Amino acid sequence: MKRMDKEIVLYLLKKIPDQHPFRLSRLLFLLDAACEKKNGKRCTSFGYVVTPYGFYIDKFPPFLEEIDGIEKIEITDEQGHPVKGFFRLTKKVNIDLPPEVKNLLDSVISEYGHLEDEKLQQRVISLPEYQRRIKT
């Protein structure tokens, strides 16, 4: 399953360049919710750490840094302090996803990829799939 996790992240960064782990994790959760709804199981193996107000994926930035073809970009101010960071796809990659996963991903990207962080977060935490995870 880990290989497909990498392929999914590569696909997301190819379709929506230069993403922060916050945004990527929300899109991945939305994908998993869509997969659960359609197939009864998730498409990824990510470990979501869920609270009523938000979540994170355990060890997600290190996972991103290990993927060949993805680079962590850090923007600094005049004093050299980091002010913004994101991950970028830095080379052409062949992405091999099952058509049903690719279609669900395209649907998630189309519906949620343009949302600002706050709206994206609200959409995720309001999902019944998210609320169920809080109770478990």
How many structural domains does the chain have?
1
* pLDDT given for residue 136 in this prediction: 60
3-state secondary structure of 116: coil
117: tokens are: 């962080």
Place of tokens 């360049």: 17
* pLDDT given for residue 83 in this prediction: 86
| 136 residues of the chain, pLDDT tens digit each | 466 999 999 999 999 999 999 999 999 999 999 999 998 999 999 999 999 989 999 999 999 999 999 999 999 999 988 888 999 999 999 999 999 999 999 999 999 999 999 999 999 999 998 999 887 6
* pLDDT given for residue 2 in this prediction: 66
Is residue 32 packed enough to be buried (19+ CB in 10 Å), middle (13-18) or exposed (0-12)?
buried
* pLDDT given for residue 121 in this prediction: 96
- As a whole number of angstroms, the distance between CA 76 and CA 43 comes to 35
* pLDDT given for residue 107 in this prediction: 97
Residue 37: its H or E element = helix 21-39
| Nearest alpha-carbon partner for 64 in 128, 10, 112, 115 | 10
Show the domain range for 124.
2-135
* pLDDT given for residue 82 in this prediction: 84
